């Protein structure tokens, strides 16, 4: 638990610095603020690798220092003979009216859980719940991908190829149409996919450009990887409120940055 507390303090320090920097550069673009938060997250993720290079925040005195700080034991002269120690008398058992002795011969000894054991149980229970929520989210995404179908409409393919070329996206992006009219999602790293709502084949080309410009901007910016790292951190250190704040801010800044990318392509802000 001491190592976990030290790791939490380090992460909190790095994330606090990143949040303070984003406050002072709030006049910059959303992409810049997102980059600052992302740098803080990945620096926190690299802490176990560089643990040797940084001293621990919870200081434990070495053996030599602890020996010096311990009270000195008075020495005995070789000519002096220490007095023999008499055996201490056993404490008498006192019976208080209304109370029973602490332990009666023949009865089982009751062991109450310590405070550290309770803290460990609460931590692991929260980590299991957080991990289960993350796995359910990934399973839901996988289910959406399996139940969707490929988009073969020529307008969608032409616009997607055009925007992917402008963004410089190397891996091919799979366009899928969901069965639900309210699902619009983008995920994946090596083989990213964009799932559009049902009935989107009837959209106008202007609307298709706006939607694909936003979703493909997520692919270009690798927002899926950043968000996945944050979710893993949240699973391990679910009790740290700074991770929840950074998680929400990253989502907001990524959405604003993708909106800026659409506007930079010449799409009017009214659309």
Q: Determine the Cα–Cα distance for residues 200 and 177; give it in Å rounded to an integer.
A: 8
Q: Determine the Cα–Cα distance for residues 44 and 250; give it in Å rounded to an integer.
A: 15
Q: Determine the Cα–Cα distance for residues 47 and 44; give it in Å rounded to an integer.
A: 5
- For 149-221, CATH gives 3.30.2010.10
pLDDT at 7: 84
Would you list the domain boundaries of the chain? 149-221
pLDDT at 67: 56
Pairing of strands 174-177, 149-150: antiparallel
CB 77 within 8 A of CB 37: no
pLDDT at 202: 87
pLDDT digits (tens, 9 = 90+) for 31-76: 999 999 999 999 988 887 766 555 555 555 555 555 555 555 455 5
Give the angle 52-58-63 at the CA atoms, nearest 5°.
80
Burial class (CB in 10 A: 0-12, 13-18, 19+), 110: exposed
pLDDT at 177: 93
CB 45 within 8 A of CB 20: no
Of 123, 153, 156, 165, give the one whose Cα is nearest residue 265. Answer: 165
pLDDT digits (tens, 9 = 90+) for 132-157: 999 999 999 999 989 999 998 899 99
Provide the sign of the torsion angle of the four alpha carbons 172, 178, 181, 187, taken in this order: negative
Q: What DSSP letter does each residue of 72-94 carry, written as one string?
A: PPPP--TTS-PPPPPPPPPPPPP
């Amino acid at each position: 638990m001491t190592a976990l507390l030290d790791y939490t303090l380090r992460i909190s320090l790095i994330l606090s610095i990143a949040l303070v920097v984003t406050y002072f550069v709030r006049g910059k673009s959303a992409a810049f603020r997102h980059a600052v938060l992302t740098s803080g997250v990945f620096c926190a993720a690299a802490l176990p690798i560089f643990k040797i290079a940084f001293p621990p925040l919870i200081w434990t005195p070495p053996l030599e220092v602890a020996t010096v700080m311990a009270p000195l034991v008075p020495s005995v002269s070789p000519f002096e003979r220490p007095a023999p120690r008499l055996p201490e008398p056993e404490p008498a058992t006192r019976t208080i009216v209304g109370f029973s002795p602490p332990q009666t011969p023949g009865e089982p000894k009751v062991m109450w859980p310590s405070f550290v054991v309770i803290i460990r149980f609460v931590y692991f229970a929260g980590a299991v719940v957080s991990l289960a929520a993350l796995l359910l989210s990934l399973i839901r995404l996988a289910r959406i991908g399996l139940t969707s179908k490929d988009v073969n409409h020529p307008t969608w393919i032409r616009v997607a190829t055009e925007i992917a070329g402008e963004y410089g996206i190397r891996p091919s992006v799979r366009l899928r149409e969901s069965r639900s009219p309210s699902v619009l999602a983008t995920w994946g790293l090596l083989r990213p996919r964009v799932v559009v709502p049902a009935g989107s084949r009837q959209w106008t080309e202007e609307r298709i450009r706006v939607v694909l410009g936003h979703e493909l901007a997520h692919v270009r910016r690798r927002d899926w990887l950043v968000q996945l790292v944050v979710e893993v951190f949240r699973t391990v250190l679910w009790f740290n409120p700074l991770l929840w704040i950074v998680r929400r801010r990253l989502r907001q800044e990524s959405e604003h940055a993708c909106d800026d990318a659409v506007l930079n392509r010449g799409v009017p802000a009214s659309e």
